[in-house]
DNA sequence: AAGTCTTGCTAACACGCGTTAGCTTCTTAT
DNA sequence: ATAAGAAGCTAACGCGTGTTAGCAAGACTT
């Protein structure tokens, strides 16, 4: 009889959630079926329901575990006594590393949250909106301090966040540069711009 | 009896394709049903098949109409006698304007191409890869000319392309800046960077 | 006005989906 | 060794999906 393998400190539910992340990333939430997921876990579809409540619950878990990490990070960065540019850089580095090391989770949270059901959906959208406002506020402080040039802060936030989601393509690339190089390049371009002055 | 309204020079198929773009953007390709589409067109689901071959055909049309426009644009830009930075700027402006004025189409092409079926899928992926290489080549020329600082060109391309897809959020925003302001801001940030020098 | 082609409708199909019920088997603790 | 709980299986459900067949209504052409 097939059995879901577990190491210490990782429940069978965690195994399922992690496999779901991979599958949702590959196919999208709607296109990935519970039978697909069951196969990748090594079990029959019905057996999954001994560990999870529903397919949507898997999406909740993924989206909010990512959202919570980001919220926690911006909490601590806001209180630090460093320049605005340094705060932006720290935030960017965090995003980049999240994207590199928790690729599937972050990707799914980014692209598939639309399929959340409604108490969760509004909640998620709210968190997202708040996060972006707090990010924009850091940039606006930097503008007032003349550290950062006069730009529309919300637009800058959009650019940064979406630019980082481009790591998706890096992740699948065969001839890729190292993670450190990637991080350096991204910070250089986003903070310093393209132009050689 | 319901009838699909058409203006001059716009076929009933075009009406369907356009409505499909809106729907696929809202719900995603898989989640949007032919019955949804029929309703938004004002007709019964089966009637759609007098004008189109299949649901996937709609996705083909959308993805390749966008891909072709971009290919055509980079064709002409490559031959122009201007600096690399100017080429990059022109390309960025084109992307931004495409995103603003053909929002649904571009968005769908960007996020839903995974659901293409295989002769089309490989074709699309190929075009995408080639486009990015050509974009990167422009940047690399700029680096050799010392117009552009030493960075990893493919990474720069990823950043730019994904940054622009952030306009999605701008598009839905209520208190949005004007299209011209958006364009100026994006070019400033992406080409010039954040730092006030 | 007649005939033809276009466009729409209703009904139905075969299929894959998420999920549940009920039973069996394996693991763990007494 | 045995009872209890956890985890798996098969079978099946109701539903929504994309699509087709066959027919009716509307719009052009002569």
- Ranges of residues in chain A whose predicted pLDDT is under 70: 194-197
Lowest mean pLDDT among A139-148, A172-181, B117-126, B159-168: A172-181
Q: Do residue B163 and residue A159 have CB atoms under 8 angstroms apart? A: yes
- Band of pLDDT at residue B21, cut at 50, 70 and 90: very high
- Cβ contact, residue pair B155, A31, below 8 Å: no
A135, A74 contact by CB (below 8 A): yes
Query: Nearest Cβ partner of A152 from B88, B158, B185?
Result: B185
- Residue A41 structure tokens: 């876990």
| The residue to which tokens 């903070």 are assigned | A191
CA-to-CA distance for B99 and B103, rounded, in angstroms?
5
Taking the alpha carbons at both ends of chain A, their separation in whole angstroms is: 66
Contacts of A155 in chain B (CB under 8 A): 170, 177, 182, 185-186, 189
Neighbours of B3 (CB within 10 A): 9
CA B27 → C1' D23, Å?
A: 34
Query: How many other CB atoms are there within 10 angstroms of residue B170's CB atom?
Result: 21
Q: Residue B14: count other Cβ atoms within 10 Å of its Cβ.
A: 15
Res A197: pLDDT: 60
Contact A148 B85 (CB under 8 A): no
pLDDT tens-digit profile of B69-96?
Answer: 999 999 999 999 999 999 999 999 999 9
Q: Which range has the top average pLDDT, A119-133, B4-18, B157-171, B180-194?
A: A119-133
CA–C1' A10–C29 (A)? 22
Beta bridge partner(s), residue B195 = A148
Q: Do A148 and B195 touch (CB under 8 A)?
A: yes
Cβ contact (<8 Å) for A170 and B163? no
For the residues of A72-138, what is the DSSP string, one character each?
HHHHHHHHS-S-HHHHHHHHHHHHHHHHHHSHHHHHHHHHHGGGS-HHHHHHHHHHHHHHHHHHHHH
The Cα of A138 is separated from the nearest Cα of chain B by a number of Å equal to 13
Q: Is residue B136 scored above 90 in pLDDT?
A: yes
* Cα radius of gyration rounded to whole Å, chain B: 19
Q: Which chain D positions have some atom within 7 A of a protein CB?
A: 6-12, 16-22, 25-27
Determine the pLDDT at residue B195: 66
Rounded Cα distance, B53 and B55, in Å: 7
DSSP for B50-96, written as a single string: GT-S-HHHHHHHHHHHHHHHHHHHHHHHHHS-S-HHHHHHHHHHHHH
Predicted confidence at residue A6, as pLDDT, reads 79
Please give the interface size between A and B, counted as residue pairs whose CB atoms are below 8 Å apart. 145
For residue B161, what are the CA distances in angstroms to A139, A159, A192, B92, B123?
22, 10, 18, 8, 20
What is the predicted pLDDT for the residue at B197?
A: 60
Residue B7 confidence (pLDDT) above 80: no
Q: How far apart are CA B96 and CA B70, in angstroms?
A: 12
Number of H helices, E strands in chain A: 9, 0
* Nearest alpha-carbon partner for A14 in A52, A47, A45: A52
Distance CA B185, CA B164 (A): 11
**More confident site: B9 or B65:** B65
Report chain B residues whose CB lies below 8 A from the CB of A164: 162
Residue B196: pLDDT band (50, 70, 90) is: low
Mean pLDDT of chain B: 92
pLDDT of residue B18: 97
Please, are residues A194 and B88 in contact by the beta-carbon 8 Å criterion? yes
Q: Which residues, listed in sequence order, are joined to residue B148 by a DSSP beta bridge?
A: A195
Nucleotide lying nearest to B50, CA to C1' measure: C7
Distances (CA, A) of B154 to B86, B110, B146, B157, B161: 18, 18, 17, 5, 11
What is d(CA B192, CA B182) in angstroms, rounded to the nearest whole number? Answer: 15
B55 CB neighbours in chain A (<8 A) are none
Contact residues on chain A for B111, CB-CB shorter than 8 A: 111
């Amino acid at each position: 009889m097939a059995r879901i393998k577990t190491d210490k400190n990782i429940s069978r539910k965690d195994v399922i959630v992690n496999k779901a992340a991979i599958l949702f990333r590959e196919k999208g939430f709607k296109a990935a079926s519970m039978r697909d997921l069951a196969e990748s876990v090594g079990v029959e579809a019905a057996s999954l329901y001994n560990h999870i409540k529903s397919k949507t619950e898997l999406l909740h878990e993924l989206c909010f575990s990512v959202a919570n990490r980001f919220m926690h990070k911006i909490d601590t960065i806001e209180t630090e006594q460093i320049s605005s540019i340094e705060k932006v850089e720290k935030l960017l580095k965090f995003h980049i590393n999240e994207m590199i090391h928790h690729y599937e989770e972050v990707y799914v949270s980014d692209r598939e949250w639309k399929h959340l059901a409604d108490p969760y959906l509004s909640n998620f959208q709210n968190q997202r909106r708040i996060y972006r406002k707090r990010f924009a506020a850091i940039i606006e402080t930097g503008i007032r301090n003349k550290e950062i040039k006069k730009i529309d802060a919300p637009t800058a936030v959009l650019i940064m966040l979406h630019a980082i989601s481009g790591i998706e393509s890096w992740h699948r690339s065969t001839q890729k540069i190292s993670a450190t190089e990637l991080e350096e390049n991204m910070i250089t371009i986003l903070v310093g711009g393209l132009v050689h002055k």
